[in-house]
Chains A and B, each alone.
Chain A
Amino acid sequence: MSKNRGNEYRYQIQRSEARKAAQELAHSNVNLKARGVDTTRIRFESITQVEIEASYLWGEEATLYPWDDVHFWKQDDTRGFDLSIWFGQELCGLCYATPRKSKICIKIVILEGKPDKSHPLRGAVAALALTAVENYALLIGCTEIEIQEPATGAIPVYESLGFAFDPTDRLVIAIAQ
């Protein structure tokens, strides 16, 4: 196997392990359980045609993100990180993050929660996604996460999670070991 193929394979396994570890954390999280969430039904997966089709069920309130394009992004972006967050058979969130060519910073490029007030993971989509992204960032050696183009209404959420604007107006947080 060539070095490049070996690296691609390494990133593929790192993505999988980052999702698995985040899922385990979600399953054991006492605060989620205290909300009455059956945490065993939370799943962290990649973004495949199954997730794309499930996102169509989000209806007209969904943002017209190019989730269909993630498949193509993944082909060109060896270190990209795609994530879907499920509760049972209900798709609750989608995320794509990438460090592109940076060795320091991974960027949340797009993040969307199900536009439905009643879904069981409402209020935790960003935190769940960031838990997995931080795992992956640690594995690939990044030291910070940036939220690229945060939704205005979501900025207080990110700030409450510890993000802050740096002098160049980037919304960032340092990776915690």
Chain B
Amino acid sequence: MQKPKHEPKPLMAARFQAEARAVLAQRSGNASRFLDVALTKGRDIEPLGRLAG
């Protein structure tokens, strides 16, 4: 049986971070779609306090 490779935690962290950043970097202009819409509607459209749950 092959022994699993041990990956030191800092290397694993760097790998996970690089993977996440690569996925997020591929996003198109859709990344700010919620902000772009919300900010054209004015402040009063959103109720104060509870929004979900």
A residues in contact (CB < 8 Å) with B: 1, 6, 9-10, 13-14, 17-18, 21, 25-26, 29, 31-32, 34-35, 61-63, 65, 96, 108-117, 122-128, 130-131, 134-135, 138-139, 147-151, 153-154, 156-157, 160-162, 176-177
Contact = CB atoms under 8 A, between A and B. Distances in A.
Contact of B35 (A1, A65, A128): A128
B17 A61 contact: no
Contact of B48 (A1, A122, A131, A177): A122
Given A113-B49, A124-B46, A157-B51, A9 B12 contact: yes
A25 B52 contact: no
Contacts of A113: 46-49, 51
Given A127-B37, A157-B45, 7 more contacts: A29-B36, A34-B39, A35-B39, A61-B48, A96-B53, A115-B49, A162-B34
A65 B53 contact: yes
Interface string B26-53: 1110111111111111111111111111
Interface residues of B, number: 38
Contact of A156 (B23, B26, B34, B45): B45
A162 B37 contact: yes
27 contacts: A13-B17, A17-B20, A18-B24, A25-B32, A25-B35, A29-B36, A62-B49, A63-B49, A109-B53, A111-B52, A114-B49, A117-B48, A123-B43, A124-B38, A125-B51, A126-B46, A126-B51, A127-B37, A131-B35, A135-B24, A139-B20, A139-B23, A139-B24, A157-B45, A162-B33, A176-B27, A177-B26
B1 to A, nearest CB: 16
